[in-house]
Amino acid sequence: MKLRYGIFCAVFLFPFALSAQKGTRAPMSLEDCVALAMQKDVRAINAKLNTEMGRLDYRQSKLNLLPSVNPSIGAGYSFGKTINPTTNEFETKRYGSGSVGASASVPVFNGFRKFRSISLSRLTYRRGKLSERQTRYSVAEQVTRLFFDVLYQEEYLSLSQWRMEQSELNRKTVEKKVKLGLMAESEMSEALAQWEEANLTVFRAEQSLEEKRRSLNRILDMEPEEKLNLKKPEDDPAQASIPDPEALFDTYGNTLADARISTLDLETAKKELTASWMSLLPNLSFSASYSSNFSDKRLNENGNTMGILTQMDHNAGQSIRLSMGVPLFSAGSRYTSLRKNRLRVIRAENTLKDTDRSEREALAKYCRTIKRSVAEFELNRRRVMVAELAFKTASKKYERGLADLYELQATRNRLAQARLDLVRNRFDYWQGTRTLDYYLYGVLE
């Protein structure tokens, strides 16, 4: 009986225990969410695949320096009217034949095209790695924004619930005083309107939080309804140091992905221009080949069929070939390519200058955001202290009948807004510093 009861519990309670285990997730920091997004997001995965394909192309460009060797073997069977290879006359006798051969070729000089191909493939591979870094930064930036949006909406919902609780207390207090004849009916209507407005604010906050959670879950490849336990950062904006954008650019300007990509594009354009000049030079190539054949109708002097090895030896042929090509006329395509590559170099130089200016502006913008959030955090922190004192004073005055409901509502709203602004400043600081770190250092594997 005990055994049956144990099996019953194991079978019917295991799914519930499993679902409870799935619903329980350890607190996730921003770094945990970003690392998970790098494994789940399609953009990050495809960027990594593109980098791997670039590496294979670079490897293949180096293997192309080896000579090309092409062995061949063939066999045939002839019937009907055929030519006898010994008498050179038409016959109707069936016979079999075969052939073997091998050829090899290697370019002696072709304007160093293969070496240029290796160089260009290496640049393309390096550019692909930087493009992957850019993609990973874009994903990390989106995760960072959604992460702090969810935390902010949670704080906003908490403050909205606090306002609703205060409105509920006020409504009940006014209701009692109206029944006792200490307040007019109009005061009850105002208290009820405030309570309804607070309920609506809580409802909207809940809906907004749900949308933010779904957006974050989507990029993390999780179930839309799953509620993540997000862990807040612990650094305090009040103790923050403001970064200097010029110092950051002097230190990291040459390592940023955009600048390095523009530099590689300029280097690639210059190499393609050189390749256009070299394509006007003659090219040399060397090739060698070996071939032989056999047939069961070949006869020796005694009229017997010659052996296969004997035929292969007698019919063997070798050849070597050295050829040179001179590009005299190609309908102007080479000169057109030369002019276009000159323009590409100029375009790449302009892009590099614009990238330098854009990165300076981006670093300055990040630093301004951090500086503004730190300054506003300190101002709003003092503002919250004053608003809390004003709300306590207004509550006591309201209880004693020295203040009306409008004054209490105004001080409560100012306190709630001050707290919300303080939360926003803290999250702006956290988001700005983390985004700047990803921009400067990239996202680690």
Residue ending a domain, among 105, 129, 164, is 105
Is the residue at 317 inside a domain? no
Indicate if 86 and 45 belong to the same structural domain: no
How many domains would you assign to the chain?
Answer: 2
pLDDT band at 167 (very low <50, low <70, confident <90, very high): confident
Is residue 239 pLDDT above 70, yes or no? yes
Q: Domain boundary residue among 105, 122, 151?
A: 105
3 within domain boundaries:
no
155: CB partners within 8 A, 6+ apart: 420, 423
Residue with the bigger pLDDT between 20 and 274: it is 274
Mean pLDDT on 255-284: 82
* 96 in any annotated domain: yes
Same domain for 267 and 145: yes
Amino acid at 116: R
**Of the candidates 279, 55, 33, which has an alpha carbon nearest to the alpha carbon of residue 144?**
33
In a domain, 316, yes or no: no
pLDDT of residue 7: 39
| Structural domain boundaries enclosing 93 | 72-105
Pair type for strands 317-325 and 283-295: antiparallel
Q: Does the structure show a pLDDT above 90 at 143? A: yes
Q: Is residue 292 part of a domain?
A: no
Helix ranges (DSSP H) in 220-316: 245-252, 257-278, 308-314
Q: What is the pLDDT of residue 80?
A: 57
Quote the percentage of the chain above a pLDDT of 70: 80
Contact present, 370 and 391 (Cβ < 8 Å): no
Residue 17 is predicted with a pLDDT of: 44
Q: CB-based burial of residue 27 (10 Å sphere; 0-12 exposed, 13-18 middle, 19+ buried)?
A: exposed
pLDDT attached to residue 236 = 83
User: 197 by DSSP, 3-state: which?
Assistant: helix
The residues pairing with 325 across neighbouring beta strands, listed in sequence order, are: 283
The single-letter DSSP state of residue 233 is P
Question: Which pLDDT band, with edges at 50, 70 and 90, does 94 fall under?
Answer: low
The verdict on 99 and 118 lying in the same domain is no
pLDDT of residue 209: 92
> Same domain for 82 and 60?
no
Confidence of residue 425 (pLDDT cuts 50, 70, 90): very high
| Reported confidence tier of residue 87, pLDDT bands at 50, 70, 90 | low
Q: Do both 187 and 203 map to the same domain?
A: yes
Quick check: is 50 in a domain? Answer: yes
Look at residue 298 and tell me if it is in a domain: no
Cα(282)–Cα(120) distance, integer angstroms: 22
Q: What is the mean pLDDT of the chain?
A: 80
Q: Residues 89, 213: one domain?
A: no
CATH of the domain at 276: 1.20.1600.10
Residue 228 pLDDT exceeds 60: yes
Domain contains 134: yes
pTM: 0.72
Q: What is the pLDDT of residues 338-397, one digit of tens each?
A: 888 899 899 989 998 998 899 889 899 999 999 999 999 999 999 999 999 998 998 888
Mean pLDDT for 302-313 is: 70
Q: How far apart are CA 279 and CA 109, in angstroms?
A: 11
Percentage with pLDDT > 90 across the chain: 22
Kindly state the average pLDDT of the residues 123-127: 88
| In the predicted structure, residue 84 carries a pLDDT above the cut 80 | no
Residues in contact with 76: Cβ distance below 8 Å, sequence separation at least 6, in sequence order: 96, 97, 98
Verify that 76 and 178 share a domain, yes or no.
no
What is the predicted pLDDT for the residue at 142? 92
> 130 and 37 in one domain?
yes
Looking at the structure, tell me whether residues 274 and 144 fall in a common domain. yes
Nearest residue to 27 (alpha-carbon basis) of 232, 197, 164: 232
Q: Once rounded to an integer, what is the mean pLDDT over residues 82-102?
A: 64
Q: Going along 309-348, which residue ranges are E strands?
A: 317-325
Higher pLDDT, 297 or 310: 310
Provide the pLDDT confidence category of residue 103 given band limits of 50, 70 and 90.
Answer: confident
Mean pLDDT is lowest, of 38-52, 95-109, 329-343, 374-388, for: 95-109
Residue showing tokens 């294979």? 56
Query: Is 157 found in the same domain as 138?
Result: yes
172 has a pLDDT exceeding 90: no
**Do 361 and 242 lie in a common domain?**
yes
Q: How far apart are CA 411 and CA 217, in angstroms?
A: 38
Compute the distance between CA of residue 420 and CA of residue 418 in angstroms, rounded to an integer: 5
Nearest alpha-carbon partner for 405 in 140, 182, 103: 182
The predicted model gives 259-272 an average pLDDT of 86
Q: Are residues 200 and 92 in the same domain?
A: no
Residues 191-219 pLDDT 10s: 788 888 889 989 999 999 999 999 999 99
Q: Which of 156-160, 250-254, 303-307 has the lowest mean pLDDT?
A: 303-307
